[in-house]
C-alpha cells in the first residue's frame, strides 16, 4: 500500500485503534476483531513485546490491514518497524528525525503534539497528520476546536482519552480521525477473549464517525 493509499484509508475510516496489550497473541486477537468490526487499521504500542515481529506477522496474516507502530526510541526503532512492514509511524510526542525518516521512506508520519507550537512544528517537519495527545485531558473537544480553528490546513487526530460519548464531538470539532484505546479495546475483553465485544465496539465507533460526518455535511 502506498503512502497516499494509507493516508486515504485513515481519512476514510477515521479511527485508529491503539493496541496496548501484554502479548503478541493478544494483539493478533484484537487486530483481527477490530478489523471484523469494520476498522481495517491498527496502531501497535511500543510497549507490546516483539513489536517488529508482530508488525511483520500482522501484515502477512491480514493483507488488507493497515498496520502502524508507535515509535519512542528514535530513527533506529523507526527503521526496524518500517523494515517489518509498518505503514505508518506514530509517537506520543514530536521527534523531527523520525518524521524526516518517514518522509524520506514514503511512510505516513503521525507524530504527537499538544500545543499550537508543537502542532505547527510537526506540520512543518512534514507530518501527514498530527496526533493531538492527550487531548481529552486538557479541555477535550473544546481545546481541540481551539487548535483547529487557526490551523484548518493541518489534519489533526484526536487521541488520549477519546471515549464513545465524546467521539462524535471530536469529529464535530474538526478531527480527521480518532485514536482510540481502552474504550474500543477493553482490558477485560482482551483478557477473556471476548471477540464479539470488541467487534461490537468497533462497529459502534464506525457508526459514531459516520453520523458525525453526516451531521457536518447536512
Is the separation of the CB atoms in 182 and 203 below 8 Å?
no
**Could you tell me the pLDDT band of residue 218, with boundaries at 50, 70 and 90?**
low
Q: How many domains does the chain have?
A: 1
Assigned C-alpha cell, 192: 477473556
Question: pTM for the full model?
Answer: 0.96
- CB burial of 21-53 (b: ≥16 within 10 Å; e: otherwise) equals beebebbbbbbbbbbebbbbbbbbbbebeebbe
What CATH number is attached to the domain comprising 178?
A: 3.20.20.70
Residue 126 pLDDT more than 80?
yes
Coarse DSSP helix, strand, coil percentages of the chain, rounded to the nearest 5 percent: 50, 15, 35
Alpha-carbon gap, residue 117 to 120, rounded angstroms: 5
User: What is the per-residue pLDDT across 71-107, written as a single tens digit (0 to 9) for each?
Assistant: 999 999 999 999 999 999 999 999 999 999 999 999 9
Alpha-carbon gap, residue 125 to 13, rounded angstroms: 25
Range of lowest pLDDT (12-16, 133-137, 180-184): 133-137
Range of the domain at 212: 3-217
Residue 39 pLDDT more than 70?
yes
User: What is the per-residue pLDDT across 41-53, written as a single tens digit (0 to 9) for each?
Assistant: 999 999 999 999 9
Average pLDDT, stretch 22-27?
95
Rounded to the nearest integer, the mean pLDDT of the chain is 96
Residue 217 pLDDT more than 90?
no
Amino acid at each position: 500500500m502506498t503512502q497516499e493509499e494509507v493516508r486515504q484509508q485513515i481519512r476514510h475510516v477515521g479511527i485508529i485503534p491503539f493496541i496496548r496489550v501484554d502479548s503478541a497473541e493478544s494483539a493478533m486477537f484484537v487486530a483481527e476483531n477490530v478489523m471484523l468490526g469494520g476498522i481495517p487499521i491498527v496502531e501497535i504500542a511500543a510497549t507490546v513485546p516483539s513489536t517488529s515481529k508482530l508488525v511483520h506477522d500482522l501484515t502477512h496474516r491480514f493483507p488488507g490491514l493497515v498496520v502502524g507502530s508507535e515509535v519512542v526510541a528514535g530513527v533506529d526503532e523507526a527503521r526496524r518497524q518500517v523494515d517489518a512492514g509498518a505503514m505508518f509511524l506514530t509517537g506520543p510526542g514530536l521527534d523531527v528525525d523520525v518524521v524526516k525518516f518517514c518522509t524520506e521512506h514514503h511512510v505516513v508520519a503521525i507524530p504527537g503534539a499538544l500545543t499550537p507550537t508543537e502542532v505547527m512544528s510537526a506540520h512543518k517537519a512534514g507530518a501527514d497528520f498530527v496526533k493531538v495527545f492527550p487531548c481529552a485531558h486538557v479541555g477535550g473537544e473544546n481545546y481541540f476546536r481551539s487548535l483547529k480553528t487557526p490551523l484548518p490546513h493541518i489534519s489533526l487526530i484526536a487521541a488520549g482519552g477519546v471515549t464513545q460519548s465524546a467521539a462524535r464531538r471530536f469529529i464535530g470539532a474538526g478531527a480527521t480521525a480518532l485514536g482510540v484505546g481502552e474504550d474500543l479495546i477493553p482490558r477485560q475483553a482482551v483478557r477473556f477473549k471476548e471477540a464479539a465485544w470488541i467487534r461490537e465496539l468497533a462497529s459502534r465507533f464506525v457508526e459514531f464517525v459516520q453520523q458525525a460526518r453526516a451531521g457536518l455535511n447536512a
